Chain A
Amino acid sequence: MAKSRHQELGLTDEKVLDMYRTMLRARKIDERMWLLNRAGKIPFVISCQGQEAAQVGAAYALNLEEDYAAPYYRDMGVVLAFGMTTRDLFLSGFAKAEDPNSGGRQMPGHFGQKKNRILTGSSPVTTQLPHAVGVALAGKMEKKDFVSFVTLGEGSSNQGDFHEGLNFAGVHKLPVITMVENNKYAISVPLDRQVASETVADRGKSYGMPGYQVNGNDPLDVFAVIKEARERAVNGEGPTLVEAITNRLTAHSSDDDHTAYRDKEEIEEMKKNDCIMLFSEYLKEQGVLTDDAETAMMKEIDDEINDATEYAENAPYPEPTDALKYVYAEEGGE
């Protein structure tokens, strides 16, 4: 029998099911966050919906035990793959003291977890990119084999930090993989008002690295490019820029109304090409997933989300006085 696409890529049936589960977890966590937001329980949501295929496809091509991630705010799929738990994410959504991103100090979507090598990020877009380049430089100097993986939106690829960071990475042939999740909007501003080059991938050329455009709606396509990029990185061949074409299925955030700048048909069309649905169809065609197994998987995820929601909702908030801590080193601290 001819090998399936995932087998060609060296992915077992189990592995692709696991990828699907991670995509689904990201989606369902995000959906719950919206419900909680609308119920007035969590302050803000900024969604991964529509981008899970790119995020999970990429993350599974990395070494999840050693590589570093500098994700951006939509990367629920990346951080789940890197080891954040559903509880972690709800603790952050509710801004509770136990939130591993920041102890409830940062808004949802501002990921960071030292133990899983997820760099703490901040609100100004693209600031994570030079950080990731610095991590890669350190890795190269210390002859470690990890790669540094950084993501951002296409609008964010117009910031100086993008160009400065990639150029440095190119000059020094650093093991850094940059993935631009191109969902074609930066809040309301469409791609053609943002980016002058034909593709974002084209921008790699100026910085001495290959730039690949890939269908970000297909986790296997993304997996393949990132895998190759990782090999190049660990072989000392330098950085890679990947542009994953994705969709943002929701408004920019819970504070935005996207019907002000995109029409209904466009939104409907995107929903017909939902990456979760497409991957589910693929797995079923391949006989890797059945309807029953999928139902069971959903149930398991729902239970996990219910548990995490309840846990996080009941967890204590940080004390207001905690806001005074960690401006400088604490006495006796590092």
Chain B
Amino acid sequence: MAQMTMIQAITDALSTELKNDEDVLVFGEDVGQNGGVFRATEGLQEEFGEERVFDTPLAESGIIGMSVGLSTQGFRPVPEIQFFGFVYEAMDAVSGQAARMRYRSGGRWHAPITIRSPFGGGVHTPELHADSLEGLMAQQPGLKVVIPSNPYDAKGLLISSIRENDPVIFLEHMKLYRSFREEVPEEEFTVDLGKANVKREGKDITLIAYGAMVHSSLKAAEELEKENIDAEVIDLRTVQPIDVDTIIESVMKTNRAVVVQEAQRQAGIAASIVSEIQERAILHLEAPVLRVTAPDTVYPFSQAEEVWLPNYEDIIEKAKQSINF
């Protein structure tokens, strides 16, 4: 076991799969000699050579489009989009092409691509460098969308993503990159895609979150405990597909739920979880399922970030609203 930050766990997962499978390729802007602008690919070019870890020209549509072609030839591309807001440059390649290769070819081709990218707020980066676009990705059939909340999961989920035969969007919350370390096995291991993790058991209310909001939810749960409210916290880990079974099982026990997302309110992951719960467990509910989200505006400037982003106090407020309903 070693103590790793999330970024180290990611580098470790990439290195593990580059070693395990010679079809794995890592590329993108500044990922080679420079080791990535967040240093996620540090040392990999040196270790695995320029053929397998390389810099691309500054052209995202080309990076993902080329990944589709490589994947048809048996490679497992792991391209990086430098900041997830720049995926807009590649949206056709991602949603129009990679996601539909299997469907369109009647199952004859598939696209085992893992697109890694930093995203998320709270580190004073501006719009497009902080946006939470997972809802947009999750809406595209054919894609899986993975968002780890800690170093252990990051390694296990990234290895699973690279081995997955359908395209995966692997989103790395920038605030979690170096915010804490934890024990991560040095040997290879996987965490299943599509499986949520009950981070904290509780009987009074279920808090459902992913990414950085898992930590805000855990903090809220600690505070709620002081007031004798026993919250269960679920870390989704994968937002497409969503592990609805784990959610429903929890809600049937607690009869109340709050869904937390950092993204804006409209058309998001939280909205679809609320729908799943009401479709499958409405008669178990003691209160409406509530959401904690950012407002429906463009990701704000730094001065407004702390106010704009959802935090543990917002979660406590909604949890109490549910309890007191």
Q: Interface residues, chain A, CB within 8 Å of chain B?
A: 43, 95, 104-107, 122-125, 155-156, 158-160, 186-189, 193-195, 255-256, 260-261, 317-318, 320-324, 327
Contact = CB atoms under 8 A, between A and B. Distances in A.
B296 A158 contact: no
A35 to B, nearest CB: 19
A99 to B, nearest CB: 10
Contacts, number: 101
A170 to B, nearest CB: 20
Contacts of A187: 29-30, 34, 37
7 contacts: A43-B302, A106-B301, A124-B85, A186-B57, A187-B37, A317-B303, A321-B307
Contact of B304 (A156, A195, A255, A318): A318
Interface in B271-302: 295-298, 300-302
A193 B55 contact: yes
B69 interface: no
B189 to A, nearest CB: 32
A198 to B, nearest CB: 15
A260 B58 contact: no
A162 B60 CA distance: 13
A232 B143 CA distance: 49
Contact of A195 (B32, B57, B60, B129): B57
B306 to A, nearest CB: 8
Contact of A155 (B58, B124, B300, B302): B58
Interface residues of B, number: 36
Interface in B214-272: none
B180 interface: no
A320 B126 contact: no
B33 A105 contact: no
B128 interface: yes
Contact of A320 (B37, B61, B127, B307): B307
Interface of B: 29-30, 32-35, 37, 55, 57-62, 83, 85-86, 88-89, 124, 126-129, 295-298, 300-304, 306-308
A105 B301 contact: yes
Contacts of A194: 57-58
B59 A159 contact: yes
A261 B33 contact: yes
Given A105-B300, A189-B29, A318-B303, A123 B55 contact: no
B78 to A, nearest CB: 18
A327 B85 contact: no
A114 B61 CA distance: 31
A95 B304 CA distance: 11
A231 B35 CA distance: 45
Nearest to B306: A320
B301 A323 contact: yes
Contact of A189 (B30, B86, B301, B302): B30
A323 B297 contact: yes
Contact of A95 (B35, B60, B88, B302): B302
Contacts of A324: 295, 297
A323 B308 contact: yes
B190 to A, nearest CB: 32
Contact of B297 (A95, A123, A189, A327): A327
Contacts of A105: 126-127, 300-301
Given A105-B127, A159-B61, A189-B29, 6 more contacts: A95-B301, A106-B301, A122-B128, A124-B88, A155-B58, A323-B307
A124 B304 CA distance: 22
A318 B126 CA distance: 15
A68 B35 CA distance: 38
Contacts of A256: 37
Contact of A318 (B59, B85, B301): B301
A316 B94 CA distance: 42
B85 A193 contact: no
Contacts of A255: 37
Central interface residue in B34, B86, B88, by most chain A CB within 10 Å: B34
B128 A188 contact: no
A331 B63 CA distance: 42
Central interface residue in A106, A189, A324, by most chain B CB within 10 Å: A189
B37 to A, nearest CB: 7
B37 A123 contact: no
A95 B34 contact: no
